[in-house]
């Protein structure tokens, strides 16, 4: 049995470890934090199908969604729920944009354009005034703070070694040196380091077609009832490529704050009943060290407009960063040197694509005769 050495314990690294064990490899898994605290635990947990572009992007997400359903059978602690999603629309121009997107879609997403009564039958929390709602039944959600330990618990054993608190500072063909001088070896190294610029990651990411994106979101106290779907509103029409149709040009320009911070409203309910609400997008570094309260206020106002009620009290706020490609490709997978791969740059799609990205990585690895598992 051959050994895979994975650097990075976030969702991309974790699903590479999962796929490696599925194929019979031993795994040594390194993570610089004592428990991952980067993009994986700072997101909404959405397996977001609604806005994905027809073609390679939606194919990747739908394949990953199917894989999450299989993974959940072995690791129910990931919290997978097939919720579907509703995107609320307010104006005629927004409705026409969605109509054109549906006409072009050819049924891939399973879209339905609903009037307010039908939308409220699916999700009664929608008590604000709106014109129509886009329903996508294929969206789903998992628990971002639970998914990593749930998967590690299933993998735990002689063939999976988890090493938190290890920063990779040097690497070569099939080896990595940690900050304390310990050398870890394997037949293949896979760096899944996200936007990290610590240790060897700085060398790896230098010159790559990547940019870091900074976001803000918040979590509330538990709501007093269950929300049946994921929620979004028409701000997302400006953001997702599936809505790039002629009618979108007739939607008025976004308010200055929304354009500056790339704000869109996204709502997911956690297993404990609390709500994760987001989010914002900044692309130009250096990022401010502080969060912007005006963005939080705007997002909460949009929630009230959507639901006709204020959100529960805010429990906590946070910011975070992720890496995405700058050249329009979905993600970055590159051979750095012999037996050393880099897999990163998935952008905001990490939770919704990680199983499929890992599967593709190992299809490549196992296509090389000397790297086939026993």
DSSP string, 305-326: HHHSSPPPPEEEEEEEEEEEES
- Is 62 part of a structural domain of the chain? no
Same domain, 115 and 195: no
Same domain, 253 and 287: yes
Same domain, 350 and 284: no
Q: Which helix (DSSP H) or strand (DSSP E) does residue 355 occupy?
A: helix 350-366
Sign of CA dihedral 276, 278, 284, 289: negative
Per-residue pLDDT, 369: 52
Domain ends where: 290, 307, 325? 325
Q: How far apart are the first and last CA of the chain?
A: 5
- Is 66 part of a structural domain of the chain? no
Same domain, 22 and 124: no
162 lies in which domain range? 3-40+145-209+329-371
- Is 311 part of a structural domain of the chain? yes
How many other β-carbons are positioned within 10 Å of the β-carbon of residue 114? 18
Question: For the residues of 187-216, what is the DSSP string, one character each?
Answer: SEEEE--TT--STHHHHHHTTSSEEEEEEE
Same domain, 159 and 283: no
Q: Tell me, what DSSP letter sits at residue 81?
A: B
Same domain, 338 and 357: yes
Taking alpha carbons only, the member of 77, 38, 47 closest to residue 268 is 47
Helix axes 11-22, 350-366, angle to 10 degrees: 40
User: 159 with 21: CB under 8 angstroms?
Assistant: yes
Per-residue pLDDT, 278: 95
| Average pLDDT value for the chain | 95
Q: What is the CA radius of gyration of the chain?
A: 21
Give the CATH number for residue 17: 3.50.50.60
- Is 241 part of a structural domain of the chain? yes
Same domain, 153 and 297: no
User: Taking the model in full, what pTM does it have?
Assistant: 0.95
SS3 26: strand
Query: What residues contact 270, with CB distance under 8 A and at least 6 apart?
Result: 45, 143, 219, 276
- For the chain, the domain total comes to 2
Alpha carbons 347 and 359: distance in angstroms, whole number: 18
Using DSSP bridges, classify how beta strands 85-89 and 275-278 pair: parallel, antiparallel or unpaired.
unpaired
Same domain, 298 and 225: yes
- Is 198 part of a structural domain of the chain? yes
Per-residue pLDDT, 65: 98
Same domain, 337 and 298: no
How many other β-carbons are positioned within 10 Å of the β-carbon of residue 217? 23
Alpha carbons 269 and 265: distance in angstroms, whole number: 13
Give the CATH number for residue 314: 3.30.9.10
SS3 168: strand
Task: Provide the phi-psi class of 11: left if phi over 0, else alpha when psi is between -120 and 50, else beta.
Answer: alpha
Q: Looking at the chain, how many residues does it have?
A: 374
SS3 340: strand
Same domain, 126 and 235: yes
Per-residue pLDDT, 305: 97
CB-side neighbour CA atoms (13 Å) of 221: 5
User: b vs e for 239-273, b when ≥16 Cβ sit within 10 Å of the residue's Cβ?
Assistant: bbebbebebbeebeebeeebeebbbbbbbbbbeee
Same domain, 128 and 258: yes
- Is 59 part of a structural domain of the chain? no
Q: Tell me, what DSSP letter sits at residue 140?
A: E
Query: What residues contact 341, with CB distance under 8 A and at least 6 apart?
Result: 188, 189, 190, 191, 333, 334, 335, 361, 365
- Is 282 part of a structural domain of the chain? yes
Per-residue pLDDT, 1: 52
- The pLDDT averaged over each successive group of 10 residues in the chain (374 residues) is 92 98 97 93 96 94 98 97 98 98 93 98 97 98 97 97 97 95 96 91 91 96 95 96 95 95 97 97 94 97 96 97 93 94 94 96 81 42
- Is 16 part of a structural domain of the chain? yes
Same domain, 119 and 236: yes
For 147-173, write each residue's pLDDT tens digit: 999 999 999 999 999 999 999 999 999
């Amino acid at each position: 049995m051959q050994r895979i050495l994975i650097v990075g314990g976030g969702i991309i690294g974790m699903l590479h470890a999962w796929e490696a064990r599925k194929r019979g490899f031993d795994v040594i898994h390194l993570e610089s934090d004592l428990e991952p605290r980067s993009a994986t635990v700072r997101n909404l947990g959405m397996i977001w199908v609604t806005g994905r572009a027809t073609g390679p992007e939606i194919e990747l997400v739908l394949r990953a969604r199917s894989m999450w359903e299989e993974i959940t059978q072995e690791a129910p602690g990931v919290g997978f729920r097939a919720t579907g999603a509703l995107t609320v629309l307010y104006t005629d121009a927004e409705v026409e944009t969605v109509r054109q997107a549906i006409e072009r879609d050819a049924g891939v997403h399973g879209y339905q354009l609903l009037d307010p009564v039908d939308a409220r039958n699916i999700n009664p929390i929608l008590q604000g005034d709106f014109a129509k709602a886009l329903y996508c039944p294929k969206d789903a959600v998992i628990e971002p703070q639970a998914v990593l330990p749930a998967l590690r618990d299933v993998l735990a054993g002689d063939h999976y070694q988890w090493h938190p608190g290890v920063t990779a500072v040097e690497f070569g063909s099939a080896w990595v040196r940690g900050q304390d001088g310990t050398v870890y070896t394997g037949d293949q190294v896979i760096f899944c380091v996200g936007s990290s610029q610590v240790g060897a990651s700085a060398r790896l990411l230098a010159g790559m077609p990547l940019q870091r994106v900074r976001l803000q979101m918040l979590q509330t106290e538990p709501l007093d009832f269950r929300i049946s779907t994921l929620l979004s509103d028409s701000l997302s029409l400006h953001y997702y490529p599936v809505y790039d149709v002629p009618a979108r040009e007739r939607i008025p320009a976004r308010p200055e704050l929304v354009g500056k911070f790339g704000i869109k409203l996204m709502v997911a309910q956690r297993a404990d009943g609390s709500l994760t609400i987001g989010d914002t997008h900044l692309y130009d570094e250096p990022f401010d060290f502080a969060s912007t309260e005006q963005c939080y206020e705007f997002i909460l106002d949009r929630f009230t407009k959507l639901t006709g009620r204020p959100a529960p009290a805010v429990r906590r706020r946070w910011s975070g960063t992720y890496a995405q490609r700058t050249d329009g490709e979905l993600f970055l997978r590159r051979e750095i040197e012999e037996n050393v791969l880099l897999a990163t740059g998935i952008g905001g799609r990490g939770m919704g694509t990680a199983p499929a990205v890992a599967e593709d990585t190992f299809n490549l690895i196992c296509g090389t005769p000397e790297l086939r598992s026993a």
